[in-house]
Chain A
Amino acid sequence: MSRSRLVYIVLLFTAILVGTVDMRISSSRAFFRWRRALVEQDNLKRQLMRKELQLEELLNPSVISEHVNRGERVP
């Protein structure tokens, strides 16, 4: 085996290893971003739901009745 061929094989092997590690790190980062996006989405859903429940409380017929009976403007 010639020396240049040996160097080529060593470099190729090293490149493959580096590439594999890089792909693995990229995969982990992508997974982390995906999970973070899921958590953020979950968080936004929770906030939206909280607003919806607040709205439902404001539109509760009992609350509206109380305002009407007191002659107040319904909020």
Chain B
Amino acid sequence: MRTHRLMLVFHVLIMVVFGLLCWRVYFLQHCQADFYADEGYRSLHASSRQEPQRGRIFDSGGRRGRVLAASNKVQTVFVDASLLGHWDDVMETAAKLQKILDIDAAEICDTISNRRRQRFIRVKEGITESQREAIISANLRGVGIDVQWRRFYPMGDLTSHVVGFIGGSTDPNDWDRIGLAGIERTYESQLKGTRGNHVFLVDTRRYPIGLDTSRSMAARDGSSVVLTIDSTIQEFTRSALTKQIRAYEAESGVAIVMDPWTGAILAMVSLPDFDPSDFGKADAGRLRNRAVSDPFEPGSIFKPIVVAAALDKGLIRTTDHFYCEDGYYAKYRIGEWANNRFGNMSVKAILTESSNIGMAKIGQKMGQTALYDGVRLFGFGQPTGVDMPGEDAGMLRPPREWSSYTVTRIPYGHEISVTAIQVTRAFAILANGGSPVTPHMVQSIIDDAGNVTQVGRRANLAGHLIKPEVAAWLVREAMVSVIKEGTGKEAALGKWQSWGKTGTANIAMGGGYDSVNYTASFVGGAPADVPRVVTLVSIRKPNKALGKGYSGGRVAAPVFREIMEKTMAYLEESVQ
């Protein structure tokens, strides 16, 4: 009986133990299945992230595109302080690194001692090949070499505002470096590429022994962008503008060179500028591309636009004359530039001599609606669509907000603000015979497989915003006359017939105008028969106290001349 009872207990115990084992098997195989599958996978695999190479940015560059921005891998020596136990180890490592990297051992010790718990302490960035080999052969404990992409800008500040720069993302979950300005920002999605991931099979010591191709994905490098900018023309433009800004102690300046037939921008300079490799040191004023983001009252460079609109609508004729009030239009409180006293003037003479009163009367003849529509037709008050970030639309108030003075002010470039790119585009429309163009910076995009996508587009020469004969008269007659007989004599070229318009605009401030400071501008092109290039130069706040002049004809026109002389010769040479 007793034996029978013991056997029963024994059987029950076996059943319980077996039941527990079954439950454990069920728990491991079912409840914890995913966890152990992951553990098993992890012990057999290792993955490595592959960062793509950011696309390059090239200029149009004549025979070969110059590199304006490119990424390259840079090797950085770092120390994992957690692997350096005692202070003696730190000193020994620092002493060995001193010999290889040519950095003072005490300096290395200081760097490490300040951050003893960190696993990545940067010692030197951008080591040479011989230094790399020396570090590898020295086999120093706690010392490693990290390889990361870095962006280079070989042209430095020459194309800083055009190319832009990259920096840390503002998204706290994204540590990538992204385009923050210029083309780097506008074409971020094309330039950045796609990140890859390599999954390796590893042995028990975690050494890779094979590539798991089914789970690996290769990185796709970013597309390269070819700009319409030509670095040589950019240099002509920048050096001429820099020289004049220094000579006149001006606050800032912009210059744009554009192909009027396509809207392609050949050069765009905004001064002061910055070094894109070290943009952190530049203040906000330097980082701003004033050519697209800073609206200003254009002054007299706006006159040809209003005349074009008036002629196109048939509201005035080229043979019309306007009485210019002998120098002062009392009813509207308008005076002439340099206290000139003009009587009856033709439309051409109004532009040649830059008469404010003549333009005010043209504005009155047009009326509010026609004036507003005409100015809008040239794209003022709206962004041009240039592929640059931060473009300002300028300011053109609707007629319902106009005062009785406005219709007399806008015709000579007051009570309206425009950007340099808007004015350049408007003059390009005049230069190409009245066809609309979209200013653009990029001519093509080349993906990592070498496929080329054309981005730049020609003007629609079949459609006209204004009549071709109106555009031709303004360019070949009126604005050539500005150069030959008017305010733009300093913009005359030796070999080519230039055309254009000067402007000296008061700077609006606090509901009035600054009586001391001006914006001196010149915009025009060459040659007159078939314009090849349109150029705008605008210099803000030349120092009047220097006594050298401050007008557009004196300050901006010589810059235009220098840019155009060199650019036209260069373009002719390129064709040959």
Contact = CB atoms under 8 A, between A and B. Distances in A.
B210 A31 contact: yes
Nearest to A54: B154
Interface in B65-80: 66-67, 70, 72-73
Interface in A5-31: 24, 27-28, 31
Interface string B204-226: 00001111000000000000000
Nearest to B73: A46
Interface string A36-75: 0000001100110110110011011110110000000000
Contacts of A57: 154, 156
Contacts of B210: 27-28, 31
The range of chain B's interface size is 20 to 34
Interface of B: 66-67, 70, 72-73, 129, 152, 154-158, 203, 208-211, 231-232, 234-235, 238-239
Nearest to A57: B154
The range of chain A's interface size is 20 to 34
Given A31-B211, A46-B73, A53-B72, A62 B235 contact: yes
Contact of A31 (B155, B209, B234, B238): B209
A46 B72 contact: yes
B516 to A, nearest CB: 33
Contacts of B239: 62, 65
A49 B232 contact: no
A52 B208 contact: no
Contacts of B66: 56, 59
A62 B238 contact: yes
B50 to A, nearest CB: 11
A61 B158 contact: yes
Contacts, number: 56
Instruction: List 7 tightest A-B contacts by C-beta distance, closest first.
Output: A61-B235, A56-B154, A28-B209, A49-B72, A57-B154, A56-B67, A46-B73
Contacts of A50: 72
Nearest to B66: A56
A35 to B, nearest CB: 7
A60 B154 CA distance: 7
B16 to A, nearest CB: 43
Given A27-B210, A62-B158, A53 B232 contact: no
27 contacts: A27-B209, A28-B209, A28-B210, A31-B208, A31-B211, A32-B208, A35-B208, A42-B73, A43-B129, A52-B70, A53-B70, A53-B152, A56-B66, A56-B67, A57-B154, A57-B156, A60-B156, A60-B231, A61-B158, A61-B231, A61-B235, A62-B155, A62-B158, A62-B235, A62-B239, A64-B235, A65-B239
Nearest to B75: A46
B70 A49 contact: yes
